[in-house]
């Protein structure tokens, strides 16, 4: 195993070989040398992951992304290992943030469904977008634009610009966009509310 001070030099040499695109073995050499180090470093930084294999998965993803676009790495700014570590760490942090939001939204799906049915609150269910109730209600939407709007709502998107792009009203004034978007969102909520009522009546 090379000494720590040699990793920067080795990384640069391997990087230049990869850029040349003439060596079919260089990717395997980079993976063999840096993948274990990268996974170990990530495990030290994120020791309490629910899935212990997640660090290895992210490390592999970072290597594959680097192999696809090696030109994004600048040896003058960091070592190859440092570059890969930063990329993988950011991916893991983003993953943990997304999982935290999902946990917050889906802590108890049945509880969300119960609250939504009791309050006839379609937005609560739209955020819990894996709900079968939502699937049934959205099945009533025949218009492709309505479906795209519903997907944005289920994803928790609130920016008017995103809905305006789907509706093709980006050339309207901000105030006009907000009014039109609100009208469409209210209409879709009513559609889902009707679905909730039918579900409750059947039960």
Q: What local confidence, expressed as pLDDT, does residue 138 receive? A: 58
What gap in Å lies between CA 130 and CA 132, rounded to an integer?
Answer: 6
Asked whether residue 54 falls in the same domain as residue 21, the answer is yes
Q: Across residues 26-46, what is the average pLDDT? A: 88
Q: What local confidence, expressed as pLDDT, does residue 193 receive? A: 65
Asked whether residue 21 falls in the same domain as residue 41, the answer is yes
Asked whether residue 118 falls in the same domain as residue 93, the answer is no
- Whether the full predicted model's pTM is greater than 0.75, yes or no, is no
Domain span including residue 93: 4-104
Asked whether residue 95 falls in the same domain as residue 113, the answer is no
pLDDT higher than threshold 70 for residue 165: yes
Please identify, among 72, 104, 136, the residue that sits at the C-terminal boundary of a domain.
104
CA torsion through residues 143, 149, 152, 153, sign? negative
What gap in Å lies between CA 189 and CA 101, rounded to an integer?
Answer: 22
Of the two residues 180 and 127, the one the predictor is more confident about is 180
Residues 6+ apart with CB under 8 A from 70: 15, 18, 19
Q: What is the mean pLDDT of the chain?
A: 75
User: Nearest 5°: CA angle at 139, between 133 and 144?
Assistant: 135
Q: What local confidence, expressed as pLDDT, does residue 144 receive? A: 79
Q: Would you give the end-to-end CA distance of the chain in angstroms?
A: 66
Q: Across residues 49-72, what is the average pLDDT? A: 86
Tell me: the pLDDT tens digits for 124-153?
A: 444 444 445 455 555 666 787 887 887 777
Asked whether residue 88 falls in the same domain as residue 132, the answer is no
Please identify, among 104, 136, 161, the residue that sits at the C-terminal boundary of a domain.
104
């Amino acid at each position: 195993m090379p000494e720590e001070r040699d990793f920067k030099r080795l990384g640069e040499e391997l990087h230049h070989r990869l850029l040349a695109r003439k060596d079919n073995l260089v990717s395997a050499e980079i993976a063999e040398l840096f993948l274990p180090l990268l996974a170990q470093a990530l495990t030290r930084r994120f020791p309490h992951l629910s899935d212990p294999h997640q660090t290895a998965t992210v490390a592999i993803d970072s290597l594959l992304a680097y192999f696809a676009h090696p030109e994004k790495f600048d040896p003058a700014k960091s070592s190859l290992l440092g570059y890969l570590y930063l990329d993988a760490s950011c991916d893991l942090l983003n993953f943990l943030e997304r999982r935290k939001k999902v946990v917050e939204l889906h802590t108890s799906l049945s509880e969300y469904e119960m609250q939504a049915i009791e309050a006839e609150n379609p937005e609560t269910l739209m955020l819990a977008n894996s709900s079968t109730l939502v699937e049934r209600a959205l099945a009533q939407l025949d218009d492709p634009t309505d479906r795209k709007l519903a997907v944005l709502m289920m994803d928790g998107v609130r920016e008017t610009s995103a809905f305006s792009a789907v509706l093709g009203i980006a050339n309207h004034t901000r105030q006009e966009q907000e009014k039109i978007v609100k009208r469409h969102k209210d209409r879709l909520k009513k559609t889902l509310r009707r679905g909730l009522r039918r579900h409750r009546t059947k039960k």
